[in-house]
Amino acid sequence: MEHITKRFPGVLACDDISIHVGEGEVLALVGENGAGKTTLMNILMGLYQQDEGRILINGEEVRFRGPEDAFAAGLGMVHQQYMLVPNMTVTENVALGYQQAWKPLKLDLKMVRDRVIEISEHYGLQVNPDAYIWQLSVGEQQRVELVKTLCLGARFLILDEPTSALTPQETDELILLLKRMKDELSIIFISHKLNEVKALSNKVTILRHGKVVFNGETDDYSPQEIAALMTGHEVQLPENKEPDMHGAPALVLKDVCVRSDRGFLALDGLDLTVHEGEIVGLAGVSGNGQRELAEAINGLRSVERGTITFFGVNLANKNPYYVIDHGMGYIPEERNVEGIVPPFAIRENFILKDSDRERFSHLSFLKKKSIEENAKRLRDDFDIRCPGTSTSAGSLSGGNIQKVILAREITRAPKFLIAVYPTRGLDMGAIEFIHRELLKKRREGIGILLVSEELDEIINLSDRIAVIYKGKIQKVLPHAEANRRNLGILMAGVNEDE
C-alpha cells in the first residue's frame, strides 16, 4: 500500500500511509485507538475506497470495488467485531462468501460443509460446522472467523485486534496457532498489546494520528520502546507510592445481600470499608458480584439486606438521583450502554447528570453557551480526540468514550468514585492517562473503589486490595503484602488463613 489517504467528514483517518508486507512475513500494525489502523485495513479489503494512493499486489496495481475482489486476490480479514450472522450455522456463514457453492437453484451446503471440515483439519482449528453462531463462545467464534477466511482462499490474512475479546488462555492458544500458520501465510496483525506483537511478528509499523511514525524489525526493539513510539512519549504506568492519608470512612458496606438478574444471591453478606483519600482495589474473577455491588451502591439494584453508609447516609434502596446528589461518581462497566447515550453529542453526554442544574439550564431551558464552553474545556483538559463537541459520542473510539465518562464524573467534583473495569480494552496511552487521573483524585482526598480484573492495575494503584469471591470479601490485604501470586490464590477462592 502506497501513500494511502482517506478522509471522513471532519477527520483525516489515514494520512499518506505506506506499508509493505513480504511473503511469509508477519507485520504488526500498532497504534492507539483511533490511529487509523482499522480504516487502513478496510481500504485494503475494498470496504472503503481510498481518496489517494494505490495498492500493489506482487507488483501489480489493484483496485478493489468490494471485498469479493479482495477475496479473489487472496486477501482475507478477521474483523475486530466478528462478522458472523448469529442465527445461522457455521456452514451457512461460510457459504455467504463461498460462491462456488451458489448453484442456480440450490445452495450446495454439503460442499461448503466439506470445505469447512477440510480447512479446520488442515490447520487444526476445531469447529463444529453445524453449530449456530449464537451457541458459540467468543473464542470459538474467532476460530470460525479464521476458518471462514481460510475457506474463501485467503493466503494473506489480516487480523484486527484478534485477542481483544479473548481470555488469557484463549489468547495463548491463538498465538500458538498463528505461529504455526505463518509458515503458509502472510499476516497483518493489528494490536496494541505489545507482548503479543513481540511474540508473533517479524516487522512492526506504528501509526499515530493516521500517519506512519515508525517502521522496523520487531526483534530490534523492546516493548517499552514500541510503546513510547506508539504514544509519542515514554509510557510509564504510574504507581501509588504515596503516604497513607488517614482519611475518615467514606463508604461503609455492612452485611450487604443483593440478588442477581437470575435470582440467586450475588452478594452474600458483603462487608467493605473505603476511607477518604484511599484507593481500594476490588480484585476478583468477573462474575463474582462486582457488577451487582456497583449497581447496588448506585441505586440501580435493590438491596435485600444490610446497609451502605455513605458519609453517614444509608444509600441502600435509594434511587440513582439520590445517590448522585450525595456526591457519588460512577464509571460503569459497560461504557457504551451505561456510560454514555451513544447517539447524543459529546457536549450533551457531558451534562447528563447536571442538565437540570442552574449551571446548564434556566427554567428548564438549556443554556447552549455554557454547555458548549464546558464541552470545549473538558475536551481540551482530557485530550479527547473528536471532530467537534457536536459529534455523537458513540462514534468515538473506546479510549475516547472512556475519557468522556471520566471527564464528566471527575469534574462534577464527586466526594467518592467507583470505577468499574475503567481501562478494559484500552491502549497503553489511555490507560496511563486514566491511572494518573485516578491517583490525582486520591491525592485530593477522594476515596476510590476500583473494580478490576487486571492484577497489575490493582497492585499499582491500590492502598488496600479486597478480593471478592462468590459475593463475599475473601480477604483485605494492605498494598505491601499483595502480589500476583497470593491475589491469584485468593481470587480462586482459597483462603490460606482458614
Cell 471462514 belongs to: 148
Residue 82 CB, nearest distance to other proteins (Å)?
8
Give the CA radius of gyration of the chain: 25
The angle at the Cα of 50, spanning 391 to 31, to the nearest 5 degrees, equals: 65
DSSP per residue over 96-136, as a string? TT-GGGB-SS-B-HHHHHHHHHHHHHHHT----TTSBGGGS
Q: Which is nearer to other proteins, 72 or 492 (CB)?
A: 72
Binding test (CB under 8 A) with other proteins, winner from 67, 162, 289, 414: 67
Are 197 and 191 spatial neighbours (Cβ–Cβ below 8 Å)? yes
Residue 292 CB, nearest distance to other proteins (Å)?
26
Of residues 82-101, those binding other proteins (CB under 8 A): 82-88, 92-93, 95-97, 101
Q: Which is nearer to other proteins, 98 or 416 (CB)?
A: 98
Are 260 and 266 spatial neighbours (Cβ–Cβ below 8 Å)? yes
Are 216 and 21 spatial neighbours (Cβ–Cβ below 8 Å)? no
Asked if 143 interacts with other proteins (CB under 8 A), we say no
Residue 95 CB, nearest distance to other proteins (Å)?
6
Residues that contact other proteins, how many (by CB under 8 A) = 33
Residue 39 CB, nearest distance to other proteins (Å)?
10
Q: Which is nearer to other proteins, 83 or 285 (CB)?
A: 83
Binding test (CB under 8 A) with other proteins, winner from 11, 12, 47, 341: 47
Residue 156 CB, nearest distance to other proteins (Å)?
16
Binding test (CB under 8 A) with other proteins, winner from 3, 8, 179, 180: 8
Residue 260 CA to residue 280 CA, distance in Å, equals 23
Binding test (CB under 8 A) with other proteins, winner from 1, 26, 28, 45: 45
Residue 308 CB, nearest distance to other proteins (Å)?
35
> According to the 3-state scheme, what is the secondary structure of 11-68?
EEEEEEECCCCCCCCEEEEEECCCCCHHHHHHHHCCCCCCCEEEEEECCEEECCCCHH
- Judged by DSSP in three states, 202 sits in coil
Q: Which is nearer to other proteins, 50 or 374 (CB)?
A: 50
Binding test (CB under 8 A) with other proteins, winner from 31, 34, 55, 79: 79
Residue 126 CB, nearest distance to other proteins (Å)?
22
Residue 407 CA to residue 434 CA, distance in Å, equals 10
Neighbour tally for 47: CB within 10 Å: 16
Of residues 388-427, those binding other proteins (CB under 8 A): 394-395
Of residues 98-117, those binding other proteins (CB under 8 A): 101-103, 105-107
Q: Which is nearer to other proteins, 6 or 275 (CB)?
A: 6
Residues contacting 70, CB < 8 A, separation 6+:
44, 45, 46, 64, 76, 77
Which residues partner with 242 through β-bridges? none
- The angle that helices 398-411 and 428-443 make with each other, rounded to 10 degrees, is 10
Of residues 275-334, those binding other proteins (CB under 8 A): none
Binding test (CB under 8 A) with other proteins, winner from 1, 4, 29, 71: 71
Rule CB under 8 A: which residues touch other proteins?
8, 45, 47-48, 66-71, 77, 79, 81-88, 92-93, 95-97, 101-103, 105-107, 394-395
